[in-house]
A and B are shown apart, each in its own frame.
Chain A
């Protein structure tokens, strides 16, 4: 969950007059995710823990039916093997009654996010709810690339707050804006890619991060490399054509990131401690099936980086330049 999220949801549900219960089950999720680094095994572990807990809650309340807001992109991406959305069960042949003890009702299955918003407005739902940014079911888990640890989640929570606080204010705000985190573990990209880059941007060079991210290429899942371009200072919108050139040079790449601020040179001490790399992502999209990176200004990104780098556990901040496809909106 994000900073203050429980309170926000509590207020929203109270204003709608719906009865609700807040369960504090963080430990069970962290235990289920322990030692897992692969994106899909993390998603599956989340899904099973989530519905086991929900099943217990449903039983405790004497209910038989669970209503959930699964929408079209959820089942399309899951049955297409792009990524396992946690809220897709029956479409994969999971019998929710025998597995978790409840029947499922999914009234929004045929709709996309923008249509759900239109429906909510039509029904008179408050604008703060109908325009709420999508937040993935597995929460920050899918933005915590690789291993999930408490201190990594803590850094991510703080970074998320800073990113949202800045990007909420730009006009028009991107459809979705978020922060992701990965260990700062770099390998130079090599002369081939540096050569391609320097043709377009003098002085540009690149390195790979060790973490892997999810993408979609030609209707197939891609789970590939992230590359960071550094050594230049340009407006992000002038770099939007760069990913296609880099992705062609190495077909395993699914993300092209643009280094905004990097303290790694300053922090070389004798003992190298593992520290974190924070990625800012903002996209413009109608329905989340395809998406473009937003033209956030370099100045805003530098302000965000300044705020995020105050946490000394963070070494560098980059902006994601990749469209969907070949990337996805979220990272895992």
Chain B
């Protein structure tokens, strides 16, 4: 199985590659300029990064059009979660309180991504912006005290967004959630 990670400039993008390799999946970082046509993959993950999607999507390479058109399973983390929310018609705003470090995520809908995971779990996050649904074509799967959309799933497509970081060691169930995503890629 091959699931590359689009490098978005964030601190933990390379840790996603590490986590996938530890799950027995082959992976590497690929640039934002990679087009959908070039991607021969079983699934794709897009990492976090320092930009805000509200500063313009032109800094984010080909990622918006991949989100719009891809047919393989896709997971966006942090910045890329926000990007998915925006591309799917939601809104991205400055959070009422940014989250840095530990947060408690509450699952609203288990879906495939949270199978076998507790309804509440500790996760680590590092973000200023957050997603608002506002008519967006996705379902909210989880929230936290300070953030209304910690996880989302795009309607009728295998596309997920996670505001928190499954790839860091301080999110204890992170690897299990990532494993749930790789199972969706097994076809």
Contact = CB atoms under 8 A, between A and B. Distances in A.
Bound together: yes
Interface of A: 72, 76-77, 80-82, 112, 216-220, 243-244, 247-248, 251, 285-287, 289-292, 323-326
B31 to A, nearest CB: 13
Given A325-B100, A326-B100, A217 B124 contact: no
A325 to B, nearest CB: 4
Interface string B13-31: 1110010000000000000
Contact of A251 (B13, B48, B50, B98): B98
Given A285-B169, A290-B124, A217 B100 contact: yes
Contact of A286 (B78, B128, B129, B169): B169
B170 interface: yes
Among A76, A247, A325, max chain B CB count under 10 A is at A325
A326 B79 CA distance: 17
A218 B169 contact: no
Given A219-B9, A290-B124, A112 B18 contact: yes
Contacts of B13: 76
A182 to B, nearest CB: 22
16 contacts: A77-B11, A112-B15, A112-B18, A216-B126, A217-B128, A219-B9, A219-B50, A219-B78, A244-B100, A244-B102, A286-B170, A287-B169, A289-B15, A289-B169, A323-B170, A326-B100
A82 B11 contact: yes
B45 interface: no
A248 B9 CA distance: 25
A204 to B, nearest CB: 20
Nearest 4 A/B pairs, CB to CB: A286-B169, A326-B100, A323-B101, A219-B50
Contacts of A247: 100
Interface in B45-99: 48-50, 78-79, 97-98
Nearest to B128: A218
B121 interface: no
Contacts of A323: 100-102, 170
A219 B170 CA distance: 16
A82 B129 CA distance: 19
A289 B11 contact: yes
A285 B169 CA distance: 8
A292 to B, nearest CB: 6
Among A76, A77, A112, A290, max chain B CB count under 10 A is at A290
Nearest to B79: A219
Given A216-B126, A325-B101, 12 more contacts: A76-B13, A218-B126, A219-B11, A244-B102, A287-B169, A289-B168, A290-B124, A323-B101, A323-B102, A324-B101, A326-B100, A326-B101
Contact of A220 (B50, B102, B168): B50
A289 B78 CA distance: 16
B173 interface: no
Contact of A287 (B15, B48, B100): B15
A325 B13 CA distance: 15
A292 B170 contact: yes
B127 interface: yes
A280 to B, nearest CB: 19
Contacts of B116: none
A76 B11 contact: yes
Among B48, B50, B78, B101, max chain A CB count under 10 A is at B101
Nearest to B169: A286
A76 B50 contact: no
Nearest to B129: A218
A325 B169 contact: no
A244 B144 CA distance: 14
Contacts of B18: 112
Contacts of A220: 50
B98 A217 contact: yes
B2 interface: no
B170 A290 contact: yes
Contacts of B12: 289
Among A72, A112, A220, max chain B CB count under 10 A is at A220
Contacts of A290: 101, 124, 165, 168-170
A326 B101 CA distance: 7
A244 B101 contact: yes
A292 B101 CA distance: 9
A112 B98 CA distance: 28
Contacts of B127: 218
Contacts of A216: 11, 126
A247 B12 CA distance: 22
A142 B98 CA distance: 27
